[in-house]
């Protein structure tokens, strides 16, 4: 038995050694870009949207990590800026809040103005006159990001809020879902240089 274990450990050592020796020259489906940890960002979000055709303002915050100068992964939260009367009824005070995981991708992020794709998803609560219900929210969006300073960026996006799981009689999923426009103020730092694949290497594929 001990001899078998010794052979297994020896084989494992060889596999790890070979992997380490080839790690630097191995290409992946993501190409030759360096996808290492490259920045930390956080900030505030201001969102204009609708609830059952009522103009509403949401606010929120976020924090996340940047990888390869382009991919952003983090967490955030949103909430209605103030309580308002649902469908104009004074006895139906409405507010909503939700926490999300955030995934975003910036194209050619070294440009002062560059396109962005984002998606937020997570659970939240809807409260009408102190009756609370849990829902699930998904928010895909697309827009541009402006590199104002190295430590400060502004995002301008448009998207759609999909809400599911509402069991409230007064507020269906459709009434809680709506398009939105959003401005984000982003603070942090990104280190290292932007790495892009050389044209001669792309031509080989």
pLDDT in tens, 96-115: 999 999 999 999 998 999 99
pLDDT at 83: 86
Residue 76 CB neighbours (<10 A):
22
Instruction: Give the pLDDT band of residue 10 (cuts 50, 70, 90).
Output: low
Instruction: Give the pLDDT band of residue 191 (cuts 50, 70, 90).
Output: confident
The answer on pLDDT for 47 being more than 50 is yes
Return the C-alpha torsion angle 185, 99, 56, 160, nearest 10: 80
CA distance 122 to 12: 40
Short-list 120, 160, 159, CA closest to 142: 159
The answer on pLDDT for 120 being more than 60 is yes
**Record: fold of 35-204:** Porin (2.40.160)
Tokens found for residue 46: 């201001």
Residue 12 CB neighbours (<10 A):
10
CA distance 93 to 104: 34
Percent residues over pLDDT 90 in the chain = 63
CA distance 94 to 84: 5
CA distance 47 to 185: 12
Instruction: Give the pLDDT band of residue 40 (cuts 50, 70, 90).
Output: very high
Instruction: Give the pLDDT band of residue 31 (cuts 50, 70, 90).
Output: very low
CB proximity list for 159: less than 8 A, separation 6 or greater? 118, 139, 140, 141, 142, 179, 180, 182
Is 20 or 84 the better-scoring residue by pLDDT?
Answer: 84
DSSP strand pairing (71-80 vs 93-106): antiparallel
Tokens found for residue 58: 């949401």
> 0.95 exceeded by the pTM?
no
7-16, 42-51, 86-95, 180-189: least confident range = 7-16
Alpha helices in the chain (DSSP H): 2-22, 173-176, 199-204
CA distance 182 to 73: 18
């Amino acid at each position: 038995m001990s001899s078998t274990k010794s052979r297994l450990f020896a084989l494992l050592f060889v596999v790890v050694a070979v992997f380490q020796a080839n790690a630097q020259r191995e290409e992946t489906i993501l190409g030759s870009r360096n996808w290492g940890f490259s920045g930390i960002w956080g900030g505030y979000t201001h969102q204009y949207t609708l609830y059952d055709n009522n103009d509403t303002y949401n606010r929120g915050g976020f924090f996340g990590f940047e990888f390869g100068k382009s991919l952003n992964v983090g967490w955030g939260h949103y909430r209605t800026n103030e309580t308002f009367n649902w469908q104009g009824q004074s006895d139906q005070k409405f507010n909503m809040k939700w926490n999300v995981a955030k995934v975003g991708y910036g194209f050619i992020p070294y440009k002062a103005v560059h396109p962005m794709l984002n998606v937020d998803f997570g659970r939240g609560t809807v409260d009408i006159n102190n009756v609370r219900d849990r829902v699930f929210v998904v928010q895909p969006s697309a827009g541009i990001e402006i590199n104002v300073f190295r430590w400060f960026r502004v995002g301008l996006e448009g998207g759609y809020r999909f809400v599911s799981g509402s069991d409230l009689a007064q507020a269906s999923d459709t009434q809680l879902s709506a398009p939105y426009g959003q401005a984000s103020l982003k603070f942090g730092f990104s280190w290292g240089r932007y790495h892009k694949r050389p044209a001669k290497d792309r031509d080989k594929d």
